[in-house]
Copies of this chain bind each other. A is one copy, B any other.
Amino acid sequence: MAQKIQTLPGFRDFYPEDCAVRNYVFDHWRAVARRYGFHEYEGPILEATDLYRKKSGDEIVGQLFHFTDKGEREVAMRPELTPTLARMASSRQRDYKKPMKWFGIGRFFRYEKQQKGRLREFYQLNCDILGEATMAADAELIAMAVDLMRGLGFSSDDFFIRLSDRNVWLGFLEAQGVDPARAPEFLQIIDKLEREKPEVTEQKLADLGTTRAAVEAFIAEAASGSPHFQPLLDDLAARGMADFIKVDLGIVRGLAYYTGVVFEIFDMGAKNRAVAGGGRYDNLCALVSDGAADLPACGFAMGDVVIADFINETAAPKKQLLEHLSTAGAADVFVIVADEEKRADALATVQRLRQEGHRVEYPLTPAKMGKQFQVAEAMKARAAVIIGAEYPAVKVKDLAHRVECEVDATAMLAKVREIVASDPGEGPLLA
């Protein structure tokens, strides 16, 4: 017991200054989801391990935090939300009008080697549209992904969307005479194309009956214009988002359940990493519900770790975040107890100001006036209300402009409201 207990590797403590960054991202995610008409949902952190086995086979179990609970159930801390969503949506699909536009923000767990951008516990935004089979749903999701980035301050200089479709590759396999049953194997090769040694890829493709040259020519051809994506591209062009999209069959996403359009938000800088990604998974609801439900679906996820890194490495988004943080958590009003005899009146004033919705602080214990003003300034309070011997007459001070006035306790409320609502950069209200 002599050893100090520490945070587990890959897990984080969110001290208030970290939590403020987290909340900045969450509030932004929620605001964009709201504007896009998505409804928030959430599932449990713990699920039956079979939910993940069913979808992805035993290999996924290697990355799970999983165990047998006290009731002899095999359970796992969720590594992603899509299987839960498929379970939830399938079991009550009749209760909701289609399309269902749902989003969730929650925590996920993967037992992976810790590295930059990858932790064992992380948050993810998940956005999904269920019950719509056409590319109109994929377009709405991609538009949302673009706005999630733009709202954080990123521009088309910083990121773009890589757009692909697994069905297009199935067409390629057919044309090449490759056995369609080997499509999953082929897609895994494409998924690793950018990371694998060319000769290894060449060998694997030869085994399937095609070549790297054929694959690369197919990717180049699609990049220069593919009628398959036209409805999606037209939709996004109508929204003024054509600049953000690049058809790129080089991505297919790793997960087994994708069936059609897949896409990634891609960092254009030196890092070249995927900031978010998703796609269509039209068969998953049927799979999870053993055929009881059958809902076409598409969605994507964005994690908090990569996006926070990306913000910190990009000038405009970082500036926007720092501006937000400069006032986040600031007090509105600090009530100064100038005379301890009047502490009861000060406490009554604190409560009255809080009832008005202000964020109000005060000294819990007696302190000198000068010290109290220091604390008020450290808390970035906009107004100080000074309660002293002359109560119910009180002084109200506009701390940004260093001007004060004397009012009675009733007029004080209006004065404080004025100061808190004012722009600290403009001229004083109390001159």
Contacts and interface: CB of A to CB of B under 8 A. Distances in A.
Contact of A1 (B14, B42, B50): B50
A343 B238 contact: yes
Given A1-B50, A22-B42, A364 B289 contact: no
Helix, strand, loop or mixed for chain A's interface? Answer: mixed
Contacts of A16: 39-41, 102
A59 interface: no
A91 to B, nearest CB: 8
Given A351-B143, A365-B134, A44 B5 contact: no
Nearest to A331: B37
A91 B15 CA distance: 11
Contact of A5 (B34, B51, B237): B51
Contact of A288 (B5, B51, B361): B5
Contacts of A47: 5, 7-8
A363 to B, nearest CB: 9
Nearest to A75: B8
Contacts of A67: 65, 67-68
Given A4-B289, A234-B344, A359-B35, A46 B134 contact: no
Interface in A7-34: 7-9, 11-16, 18-20, 22-23, 31, 34
B290 A2 contact: yes
A153 to B, nearest CB: 15
A198 interface: no
A41 B70 contact: no
Nearest to A88: B13
A357 interface: yes
A234 B8 CA distance: 44
Interface string A349-388: 0110010011111001100000000010011000000000
A154 interface: no
Interface residues of A, number: 99
A20 B41 CA distance: 8
Nearest to A70: B111
Nearest to A34: B359
Given A35-B354, A350-B239, A364-B137, A8 B41 contact: no
A184 interface: no
Contacts of A329: 39
Nearest to A143: B351
A239 B75 contact: no
Given A4-B91, A8-B73, A18-B41, 15 more contacts: A1-B50, A4-B292, A5-B50, A7-B87, A11-B46, A13-B84, A16-B102, A36-B354, A37-B331, A37-B359, A45-B107, A65-B67, A69-B111, A240-B351, A241-B351
23 contacts: A3-B290, A4-B289, A5-B51, A5-B54, A7-B44, A7-B47, A9-B71, A14-B41, A14-B43, A15-B41, A15-B95, A16-B40, A19-B39, A19-B41, A34-B359, A35-B359, A37-B331, A37-B361, A67-B68, A136-B365, A137-B364, A143-B351, A240-B351
9 smallest beta-carbon distances between A and B, as pairs: A67-B67, A238-B344, A11-B44, A16-B39, A238-B347, A136-B364, A14-B42, A37-B361, A35-B354
